[in-house]
Amino acid sequence: MHKARAAGFDLEVDSAAISNEERGNPPDRRSVAEARRRGIEMHAHAARQIRKADFAHFDLVIGMTAQHCAALRRLAPEGAADRIHLFTEFADGIEGDVPDPWYGGEQDFIEVFDLIDHGVDGLLAKLQADAR
């Protein structure tokens, strides 16, 4: 979100899971630590499950894995599937899924944050190009 503001965008960004397994839980402590190291606060975040209303509310729905995108397409109302994208579509030079660092260590979280940082740069560049 801070990169979007710095680029002059007024965006609403949210995060939601496919399942309700972690609903209400805070982010993993390793994720919070890496975010904080990068100047991002996540203390107010709690996991939630995606809702049908999200497809009407958001212009883009981005999955971190191909499996997430397939599940999102199954949940999406008619006409919303074209707004679903795999996150790495925006990360030049990176293909496939964003790896889940959950079962890894601190270095895995650092690498995923780096990948996401790169993808956010690509996403913002696309939004800037589309706005012209």
Which residues are the active-site residues? Answer: 100
Using only C-alpha atoms, what is the Rg of the chain?
15
Query: Do 38 and 71 touch, CB atoms closer than 8 A?
Result: no
Distance CA 52, CA 45 (A): 20
Distance CA 47, CA 14 (A): 10
C-alpha of 94 from chain center: 15
